[in-house]
Amino acid sequence: MKVVVIGALGKVARQLVPLLADGGIGPVTDVAGVVRKPEQTDRVADLGAEPVLLDVEHASTEEIAAALVGADAVVWSAGAGGGDAARTYAVDRDAAIRSMDAAASAGVRRYVMVSWVGSTPDHGVPEDAGFFAYADAKLAADDHLRTTDLDWTILGPGTLTDEPPTGRVSLFPETGALPAGTDSSVPRADVAQVVAWTLREPATIGRFVRFSTGDTPIPAALRTMG
Ligand SMILES: NC(=O)c1ccc[n+]([C@@H]2O[C@H](COP(=O)([O-])OP(=O)(O)OC[C@H]3O[C@@H](n4cnc5c(N)ncnc54)[C@H](OP(=O)(O)O)[C@@H]3O)[C@@H](O)[C@H]2O)c1
């Protein structure tokens, strides 16, 4: 399986790429990492992936498709990083949607979207909150993915932390707002493991996998999605 990771040097993806490249969590054989600045390509190669230079915010669907030809799976782990609303919509919604259409036109079957735990219509983020553009953009991208014929999985981690990995998660129901006060935090290192295991777990296809850190080993938790 050849996997293209979009946003390859993000804090999640830079832990995912070596996991995939090491082959410890199969069946990945080749990894390519998309970054947008020439000075980032050496770091991608150092992680064990083939660097692909592409600014997905400004690339057309056809240009993204050209970068995906020959791949079996795409992982979207890019993001504008919050802040500017226009850029958030341009990356987290519009570029993500183009990458899905590009995957379809390039003949890539599998698509794994790193979204967030609150990406449901009842996310409850007020329109005047700074976080609204992010919530709105991610939901629009996720909803577009659901309309495609791709073998998609939407991953919904909670608040990301830089704690060491535990290898264990707890799943939340696929729909509905989380009860107030729910601790949804999860280490980025575990999110990377969830992505890697998701690529080899068919039970996750067509599912929204919402999770926090927890008690269940990641592969066992994902198997229950079937
Ligand atoms: N933060 C949270 O608590 C949280 C919670 C749940 C889910 N998430 C989601 O988790 C995912 C990964 O999070 P993270 O912490 O790893 O994010 P991150 O460190 O901000 O990584 C995002 C990556 O996207 C890249 N990127 C931005 N614009 C790009 C473009 N136009 N072309 C190519 N690459 C581009 C960035 O590269 P540059 O260095 O070039 O900018 C960066 O490496 C995101 O999709 C986020 O929405 C976040």
CATH number at residue 7: 3.40.50.720
pTM, to two decimals: 0.97
- Enter the DSSP assignment of 82: S
Number of domains in the chain: 1
Measure 199 CA to ligand 1 centroid, in angstroms: 19
CB within 8 Å of 70: residues ≥ 6 apart = 2
pLDDT of residue 161: 98
Residue 58 confidence (pLDDT) above 80: yes
Which domain range does residue 47 map to? Answer: 2-223
Residue whose tokens read 């008690």: 215
- Which of 5, 6, 35, 113 most suits a substitution to test ligand 1, by most atoms within 8 Å of the C-beta? 35
pLDDT tens per residue, range 81-111: 987 999 999 999 999 999 999 999 999 999 9
Task: Give percent above pLDDT 70 in the chain.
Answer: 99
Pocket of ligand 1 (CB under 6 A): 7, 9-13, 34-37, 55-57, 77-81, 91, 114, 116, 157, 159-160, 188
CB within 8 Å of 185: residues ≥ 6 apart = 158, 159, 160, 161, 212, 213
- Which of 160, 185, 209 most suits a substitution to test ligand 1, by most atoms within 8 Å of the C-beta? 160
pLDDT of residue 180: 87
Nearest to 44 by CA among 84, 85, 16: 16
pLDDT of residue 27: 67
